[in-house]
Amino acid sequence: MIKKLIISILVLCAINSCQNDREIEITKNEAIAIFHPIRLSALQDSSSSFANYDVEYQDTLGIAYLKAFSNRLELMIDLNCNKPNTSSALHMHYGTPNKPEQHWNPETAESYCGKLSLGEVWGRKYAGDIGNIHFDESGDGTFFLQTDLWSLNSGEKNDILRKVLVVHYLYEDFALHCDDNPHNHSHQNPKIGSGIIELIE
């Protein structure tokens, strides 16, 4: 699987280099995050929907590759979480990979539901609400995103360097998080994997 992930990154790099010769890349503009399992033993019980779920035998679940340009940041994620034919939510958190904390948001109390990302409405409660990754029949999933809401190694509030990428067990409807109805705001979604964003030196 790691070989496949490395090939995917190289392909993405090649595509990016050919997209636009006038595009300006910033210094130290590439980063990766290696996803490892989050130990679930403390979270599991016989009544939970994920009581029999286990990825702890896997050392690595996948990888995220990020590249920053002067006008946007691109994210590609390749994962296999032993969840064929399902989807899982992706978030960015504060904290560490072993102990992710609250959801990352540059302006802590500000909603990003109506903010624009590359001219389109973000439609998610937080800047760190990434989306859902779908896994095929083999359990492999790929996710791609471009946004100008984030930066990398900039020192600004929206800098995602050293933030923690988290994959959750369940799919999430991010539009519901923007609904004013508090009954639509469920956070019972176990974290199953995480990785910290670090520069490629």
The domain ranges of the chain are 2-199
CATH architecture of 2-199: Sandwich (2.60)
Determine contact, residues 79/62, Cβ cutoff 8 Å: yes
Instruction: Name residue 79's beta-bridge partners.
Output: 62, 141
The closest alpha carbon to 87, from 142, 34, 144, 129, belongs to 142
| Type and span of the H or E element at 6 | helix 2-19
| Residue 45: C-alpha distances to residues 99, 148, 173 (Å) | 20, 41, 25
Asked whether 89 and 172 are in contact (CB, 8 A), the reply is yes
pLDDT in tens, the chain (201 residues): 544 555 455 444 544 444 444 444 555 799 999 999 987 654 444 445 555 566 656 789 999 999 999 999 999 999 999 999 999 999 999 999 989 999 999 987 789 999 999 999 999 999 999 999 999 999 999 999 999 999 999 999 999 999 999 999 999 999 988 987 655 545 678 999 999 999 998
CA distance 165 to 175: 20
Other beta carbons within 10 Å of 119: 6
- Structure-block tokens of residue 62: 């996948």
Q: Is 69 helix (H, G, I), strand (E, B) or coil?
A: strand
Q: What is the DSSP letter of 99?
A: S
